[in-house]
Each structure stands twice: as C-alpha cells, then as structure tokens.
Amino acid sequence: MNGVNRNVDAIGVFDSGVGGLSVLRALLTELPHERFVYLADQGHAPYGEREDSHIIQRASAITRYLTAQHRVKAMVVACNTATAAAIHLMREAHPEIPIVGIEPALKPAVALSTTHRIGVMATRGTLQSEKFRSLLEGLSAQAVFVLQPCDGLADAIERDDAIQIGAICAQSTSVMGTFDSQPDQIDTLVLGCTHYPFASDILRSLVGDAVHLLEGGAPVARQTRRVLEQRGWLAPAPVAHTAPPPPLVIGSTGRTDALQSAAKRWLGLDCTVASWDV
Ligand code: DGL
C-alpha cells in the first residue's frame, strides 16, 4: 500500500449480527468523518455457542470480502467472541491493515469498582477462550469476578424478543448474587458481548441505579482513531461545515429486515441494508 492515499478508504466493522451496532454507534461519534462498512453475519449466527473453527472460518471469509470488495483501510471486530477466537489469525493473514478487536471491559471495571466484586456477562465462547482466561488471570488479585455465560441472550436480542430477553437477564443476574454498593455486593457489571448494551434498560431495572454497567464500544473507537492516526490514515474533516455525513454502507449475510429495524431503533439510522453472500 506504500504511496497509496488510504485516508478516503472505509473502515470495515463486523459482528455476528446487530450487536456490533453498539460499537458502530461509538465509532460514528469518535470518527464522524470516516466512511464505515458494517457487515452483520446473521446468516451464520449466533457465534457465542459455536465451535472456534466456525468463527475462524467466518472471520477469515468476512475479512477477505471487506478488503477485496470494499477497500477497507482498517477492520474493527465488533464482537468479543470473534475477537477471542480469530483476531490473531486475521492479523496474520492481513498485515497490511490494522485490525482492532474488543474484549470485556475488565480493566475499567477494576478501576471503577469499590466493592471489588465484578459481574461479567458474556457468551460461553468468550468466557471459555484463552484470551479471556489470560485477561482474567492478570486481574484476579485485584477483584473477585463473577462470570455468567448468557446462552440465548444474543439470539433473543437479534429477534427483539422482549420476553425472552427479560427472562434470560433476570435468570442471569439472580444467579450472580446481589447487586449494589455495599461490601460483598457486585457494584460493576461488565457487558462482555456487544449485543448486551441493547438490553441495558432491563439490566438496569434488575441491578439498580448504583451499579456501573460497562460496555466496550468507546475504548474500541478511541483505539481505532489511534491506529489510523499513527499511520496518517484518518479521513480529513470536510472543508464545508454543511457537508453531509459520509455514506454508511450496511449489509447482512442473513435477513436484512432485522438489521434495518435495529439500526433505526438504536442508532436512528434510516438506511437500506444490502444482502451479501459471503
Ligand atoms: N456480539 C457478539 C459478542 O460480542 C456475539 C454474539 C453471538 O453471536 O453469540 O460476543
């Protein structure tokens, strides 16, 4: 890529489905002049309870597709499960572009918690991964972590099934212990799957106002800015203040209607979702 101006190229973002929109929301705020291409792999989701081999194969096909068909200058893996299973292989296969991943926000949780008791909700795949284990090991002297795999929660959020979302959140939080800011209570809850911020209203009603709910979109967006800045690949601000925002391209390998209504509901985006065969 030497000598090629990459500033105008897009940033590729992917997740198994609608969850990565929580990261895209932070990216659009942090990097308003960038063009984004968002891929929801709904035809092959959910990832959270699948074999690593499935996720590795999907991450590799998606990276090839986005780099070849959409000229992306960077990739954001807006999925904790895919980051844990596949980001090292994606980086090996595509050294020409920076690839930014997401991990459950344990470090910020340690900094915030005063009871030193931290809940972590994530997919089974994330919690069982090597990457997560080593993150946890490095912090286990500083807090007690209560880990909760939430089978079916990402899928219920995909289907916008409020009853199922409520039932899984209630069951998950009740087995984790009591939440509040007294000693021995969980005062910080890490949302370790990018789908879960879209259940934060119900989680908030279950754990109470004193508990910190932590998601990872904003740190990922800041890291994306840093890696582009280092390479001199940030998109320039438009000269005219009235210039329209850069176009956003959104596609799904599955049903496009669910993604389209989620983008409208959560990000206020009126966009047409493309159907991509990846
Ligand atoms: N949103 C994804 C994550 O952050 C995965 C959800 C799923 O497909 O199970 O882990």
Per-residue pLDDT tens for 173-224? 999 999 999 999 999 999 999 999 999 999 999 999 999 999 999 999 999 9
pLDDT at 2 over 70: no
Q: Could you tell me if 32 and 64 are in contact, meaning their C-beta atoms sit under 8 angstroms apart? A: no
Break the chain into its structural domains and give their ranges. 11-102+218-275, 106-215
pLDDT tens digits, one per residue of 210-236: 999 999 999 999 999 999 999 999 999
Average confidence score pLDDT of the chain: 95
d(CA 219, CA 111): 14
Q: Using CA atoms, how far apart are residues 243 and 203, in angstroms rounded to an integer?
A: 39
Q: What does CATH list as the number for 106-215?
A: 3.40.50.1860
Distance CA 123, CA 84 (A): 11
Query: Does residue 123's CB lie within 6 angstroms of at least one atom of ligand 1?
Result: yes
Atom of ligand 1 nearest to the CA of 82: 10
β-partners of residue 15 are: 40
Rounded-to-5 percentages of helix, strand, coil across the chain: 45, 15, 35
CATH class of the structural domain 11-102+218-275: alpha beta
Distance of alpha carbon 67 from alpha carbon 240, whole angstroms: 30
DSSP string, 8-72: TSEEEEEESSGGGHHHHHHHHHH-TTS-EEEEE-GGG---TTS-HHHHHHHHHHHHHHHHHHH-E
195 lines ligand 1 (CB under 6 A): yes
Digit-coded pLDDT (tens) for 67-119: 999 999 999 999 999 999 999 999 999 999 999 999 999 999 999 999 999 99
Minimal CA–CA distance to 193: which of 112, 46, 81, 85? Answer: 81
Is 11-102+218-275's fold the same as 106-215's?
Answer: yes
Provide the token pair at 217: 């979109």
Q: Which positions are catalytic?
A: 79, 193
Q: Which residue, by CA, sits nearest to atom 2 of ligand 1?
A: 79
